[in-house]
Amino acid sequence: MTRESIMTPFMNASAPKTPPAPADPGLSPRDVRYQEFPSRLQGLDRASVRAFLGRVADGLESLLKERQALHDRLAALEDELQSRREAEDAIRRAVVAAENMSRDLREGARRECESLIEQAQARREAIDREGEARAAELTALHRARLSELEDEFRHRRAELEREHHLLTLERDRAHAERTVYLERAYSERHADLTARLAAARGEYLQFVTQYRALAHAFAELSTRHLPAMDDSALPAGAPLEVHARAVPLPPLPEEHETAREPQVEAQRSP
C-alpha cells in the first residue's frame, strides 16, 4: 500500500464549514400551547382550537429537540474530523519514516544477501574440494583393502585346499586300514567259526550215535519189562530202531551258524 493510496481519502474530504447555532424562533411550544385569543360573537370552537394548538406545540417541540440533536452530532463530527486530520498528519509522517526505513532495510538486506551468497559459494567450493579429496582418499583405501583381501583370500583358499587334501588322504588311509582290519578280523572269525562248526558237527554226530544207542537200549528194556505199555502210536511188529527214531532229536548246529552269518557280514561294512 503506497502513501498516495493511504492519503487519498483524507485529501478528497472537503472541510465543511461550521454551521451557525440555531436561531431563537421567538416562539416556544409553551407559548403555542397556552396562547389566548380574543373571543367574539359566533367565534371558533375553543376545544378544537386548544386541541390543534396542543398538536402544533408537540410537533414544534419534537422539531426543536431534533434540531438540537443534529447540532450536537455536527459538533461531534467536527471534533472527529479534527482528530482525523491530526491522525492524517501523524500517518503521513509515519509513512514517510516507514518508506525511509523500508528503503534502508531493503538496501541492508540486499547487501547482506549478497554477502551470504558469496560466503555460501565459497563454502560450497571448499566443501566440493574437500569431498573430492576425501573421495580420492577413500578410493585409494578401498583399492588397497580390496587387494589385501584378495591376497588373504587366495592364501586362505590354498591353505584350506591343502588341509582338505590331507584330510582326504587321512580318511582314505583310515578307511583302507579299517577295511584291512575288518577283512582280517572277518577271515579269522570265519576260520574260527568254521573250525568250531566242524567240531560241533563231530560232537553232534557222536552225541546222536550215543543217543540212538541209548534209545535202542531203552526200547529193549521197555519191551522186556513193560509189556502192558500202550504202543498204539507205533505200528505192530515195528523193530527197535523205529522206536529209537521216533524220539525227537535236537537241531543241527548248522541252523544256528547260518542265522549268525548276516551279523558277521554286517560287521564287515565300514
pLDDT at 153: 92
Q: Has residue 225 been placed in a domain?
A: no
pLDDT at 52: 78
Q: Has residue 100 been placed in a domain?
A: yes
Domain that holds residue 58: 3-108
pLDDT at 53: 77
For the chain, which residues score pLDDT lower than 70?
1-28, 31, 33-45, 226-270
pLDDT at 256: 45
Long-range contacts of 7-11 (CB under 8 A, 24+ apart): 7/88, 7/91, 7/92, 7/95, 10/84, 10/85, 10/88
Q: Has residue 20 been placed in a domain?
A: yes
CA-based nearest residue to 92, from 149, 214, 10: 10
Listing DSSP states for the chain in one string gives --HHHHHHHHHHS--PPPPPPPPP-S--HHHHHT------TT---HHHHHHHHHHHHHHHHHHHHHHHHHHHHHHHHHHHHHHHHHHHHHHHHHHHHHHHHHHHHHHHHHHHHHHHHHHHHHHHHHHHHHHHHHHHHHHHHHHHHHHHHHHHHHHHHHHHHHHHHHHHHHHHHHHHHHHHHHHHHHHHHHHHHHHHHHHHHHHHHHHHHHHHHHHHHHHHHHHHH-TTS--TTSPTT--HHHHHHTS--PPPHHHHHHHHHHHHHHHH--
Q: Has residue 28 been placed in a domain?
A: yes
Query: How many domains, in total, are found in the chain?
Result: 1
Q: Has residue 58 been placed in a domain?
A: yes
Q: Has residue 17 been placed in a domain?
A: yes
Q: Has residue 26 been placed in a domain?
A: yes
C-alpha cell at 200: 560241533
pLDDT at 224: 80
Give the C-alpha separation, 203 to 197, whole Å.
10
Give the C-alpha separation, 212 to 246, whole Å.
10
Q: Has residue 123 been placed in a domain?
A: no
pLDDT at 160: 93
pLDDT at 227: 54
